[in-house]
C-alpha cells in the first residue's frame, strides 16, 4: 500500500483520533483543520504538526491527501463527507454518521459513485468486551437472544449548554444513543419498528432543541425486543448499559467487569475482557483507524461501512419520529 496523507477536520474529537493516524506507518503525513485558530494552534503544537488550515475545503482540493477524517459537529458530517468522497478521498466519519436518513442516503450515493470507502467511528464495536459478547452470542452460549437493553447513559449537559449540540441536535438518540443502537443491531439483529417517548429532565427548550432523555421500545426482525434509553442528564457516572437476555444465559455490562449468568440459580461469572479497545495507546477515538487502513489496503469493507452506519441512523430516525407522533414507526431501509 502506498502511504496515504490524512486530513483531520475538527480538533475536538479529531484531536483524539490523531494518535491512531500518527502511529500507523501507512500514513505519510497529517494535516489539521479547525475554524478556531487558537485551538488549531494549540493542537498542532501539542502533536508537532506544522501543516494546518482553518478552511476544510482546502483539504478537499489537496492531491496529497487520500483520506479525510470528518470529526466536525454532527450537522456538518454529511456535507463534508460527500465533498471528500466526490474528490476521490476515503472518509472516516465520526458518529453520528448523519443527522437523519435523508442525509445518510446522500452519503450512500456518494460512496457508490466514488468507489471510495466510508467508515463510521462507532467505537463500541472495537471494545474487547463487546467483541467477546458477540462471540458468546454467535457461538450459542447464551442461547437465543429474545430481549435486551441498550442504554447510553452519559451526562453531557456542559457540552450541550456550551457549544453547538444544543442548537443543532434534534435528537439525543441520534447524537449519542446511536452507539448502543449500533451495538444492539450488531449483536441482536436488525430492527423492524420503534416506539419512543422523550422527556426533559434538566434541559429547557431554550437550552436545547432535543429533550435530554429518550426511551424507546424496539422490535427486531427476528422477534426479539429491546429497551433503549439515551439519558444525557443522568446524575451518575457514564455507562454503556448492555443487557442481553438469552434462553441459556444473561450478560450484563458493568464496571469494572461484566457479569455472565448461565441459568437462574447460577453463580455470577466475571467478564474481564477490557471495557475498552484492544490498543488503548491510540485512544478510544483512534482505535478503529488501523482497521480502516486495513480495509483500504486490502480493499475490504470496513466493519461499520456506510450501509451499516445508515441502518443505525434509520433506527434513530424512527425513534425520533415516534417521539414526535406518539405512534410506533417502522424502520426504513436506507
pLDDT single digits (tens) 226-269: 999 999 999 999 999 999 999 999 999 999 999 999 999 999 99
Q: Are both 270 and 136 inside the same structural domain?
A: yes
pLDDT at 173 > cutoff 90: yes
Q: Are both 40 and 177 inside the same structural domain?
A: no
- Which whole number is the average pLDDT over 216-222? 98
Dist CA 228 CA 316 (whole Å): 10
Residue reference for cell 494552534: 41
**Residue 30: exposure state from Cβ atoms within 10 A (0-12, 13-18, ≥19):** buried
Task: For residue 34, give the DSSP letter.
Answer: -
Q: Are both 48 and 102 inside the same structural domain?
A: yes
Task: For residue 100, give the DSSP letter.
Answer: S
Grid coordinates belonging to 139: 457461538
Task: State the residue range of the domain holding 321.
Answer: 124-277+312-330
Q: Are both 87 and 130 inside the same structural domain?
A: no
What number of helices (H) and strands (E) belong to the chain?
Answer: 12, 15
- Which whole number is the average pLDDT over 139-156? 98
Mean pLDDT for the chain?
96
pLDDT score, position 246: 98
Q: Are both 78 and 134 inside the same structural domain?
A: no
Helices (H), 66-209: 77-86, 101-114, 128-139, 157-161, 165-168, 172, 178-187
Q: Are both 212 and 272 inside the same structural domain?
A: yes
Backbone angles phi, psi at 332, to 5 degrees: -80, 150
Q: Are both 212 and 76 inside the same structural domain?
A: no
Helix H or strand E segment including 27: strand 27-33
Look at the alpha carbons of 279, 284, 286, 289 in this order and tell me if their dihedral is positive or negative: positive
- 12: CATH: 3.40.50.720
Hey, is 129 helix, strand or coil?
A: helix
pLDDT score, position 235: 97
pLDDT score, position 285: 82
Q: Are both 215 and 326 inside the same structural domain?
A: yes
pLDDT score, position 75: 96
pTM (predicted TM-score): 0.96
- 232: CATH: 3.30.360.10
CB within 8 A of 193, min separation 6: which ones? 218, 219, 318, 328, 329, 330, 331
Q: Are both 270 and 235 inside the same structural domain?
A: yes
Residue 179 vs residues 112, 173, 202: alpha-carbon distances, Å = 25, 9, 22
Hey, is 9 helix, strand or coil?
A: strand
pLDDT at 280 > cutoff 70: no
216 vs 283, which has greater pLDDT? 216
pLDDT at 151 > cutoff 70: yes
- For residues 244 and 148, the answer to whether their CB atoms sit within 8 Å is yes
Helix H or strand E segment including 90: strand 90-93
Dist CA 196 CA 54 (whole Å): 40
pLDDT score, position 87: 98
With a pLDDT cut of 90, the percent of the chain lying above it is 96
* Structural domain total, the chain: 2
How many other CB atoms are found less than 10 A from the CB of residue 208?
Answer: 22
Q: Are both 207 and 241 inside the same structural domain?
A: yes
pLDDT score, position 96: 96
Helices (H), the chain: 13-22, 37-47, 56-60, 77-86, 101-114, 128-139, 157-161, 165-168, 172, 178-187, 289-298, 306-325
Q: Are both 171 and 273 inside the same structural domain?
A: yes
Closest listed residue to residue 284, CA positions, set 18, 9, 48, 99: 18
Dist CA 67 CA 9 (whole Å): 11
- Residue 212 forms beta bridges with which residues? none
Q: Are both 143 and 273 inside the same structural domain?
A: yes
Amino acid at each position: 500500500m502506498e502511504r496515504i496523507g490524512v486530513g483531520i477536520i475538527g480538533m475536538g474529537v479529531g484531536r483524539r483520533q490523531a494518535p491512531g493516524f500518527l502511529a500507523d506507518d501507512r500514513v505519510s503525513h497529517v494535516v489539521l483543520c479547525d475554524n478556531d485558530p487558537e485551538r488549531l494552534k494549540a493542537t498542532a503544537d501539542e502533536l508537532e504538526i506544522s501543516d494546518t488550515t482553518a478552511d476544510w475545503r482546502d483539504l478537499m482540493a489537496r492531491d496529497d491527501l487520500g483520506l479525510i477524517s470528518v470529526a466536525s459537529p454532527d450537522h456538518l458530517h454529511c456535507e463534508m463527507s460527500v465533498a471528500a468522497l466526490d474528490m476521490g478521498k476515503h472518509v472516516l466519519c465520526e458518529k453520528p454518521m448523519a443527522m437523519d436518513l435523508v442525509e445518510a442516503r446522500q452519503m450512500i450515493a456518494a460512496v457508490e459513485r466514488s468507489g471510495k470507502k466510508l467508515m463510521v467511528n462507532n467505537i463500541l464495536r472495537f471494545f474487547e468486551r463487546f467483541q467477546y459478547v458477540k462471540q458468546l452470542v454467535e457461538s450459542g452460549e447464551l442461547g437465543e437472544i429474545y430481549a435486551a437493553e441498550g442504554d447510553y447513559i452519559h451526562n453531557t449537559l456542559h457540552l450541550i449548554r456550551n457549544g453547538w449540540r444544543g442548537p443543532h441536535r434534534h435528537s439525543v438518540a441520534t447524537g449519542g444513543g446511536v452507539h448502543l443502537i449500533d451495538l444492539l443491531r450488531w449483536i441482536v439483529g436488525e430492527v423492524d419498528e420503534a416506539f419512543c417517548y422523550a422527556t426533559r429532565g434538566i434541559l429547557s427548550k431554550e437550552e436545547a432543541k432535543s429533550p435530554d432523555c429518550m426511551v424507546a421500545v424496539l422490535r427486531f426482525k427476528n422477534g426479539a425486543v429491546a429497551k433503549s434509553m439515551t439519558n444525557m442528564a443522568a446524575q451518575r457516572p457514564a455507562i454503556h448499559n448492555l443487557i442481553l437476555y438469552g434462553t441459556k444465559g444473561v450478560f450484563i455490562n458493568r464496571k469494572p467487569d461484566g457479569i455472565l449468568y448461565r441459568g437462574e440459580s447460577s453463580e455470577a461469572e466475571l467478564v474481564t475482557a477490557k471495557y475498552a479497545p484492544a490498543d488503548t495507546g491510540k485512544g478510544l477515538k483512534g482505535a478503529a483507524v488501523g482497521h480502516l487502513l486495513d480495509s483500504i489496503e486490502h480493499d475490504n469493507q470496513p466493519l461499520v461501512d456506510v450501509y451499516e452506519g445508515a441502518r443505525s441512523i434509520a433506527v434513530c430516525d424512527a425513534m425520533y419520529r415516534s417521539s414526535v407522533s406518539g405512534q410506533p414507526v417502522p424502520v426504513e431501509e436506507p
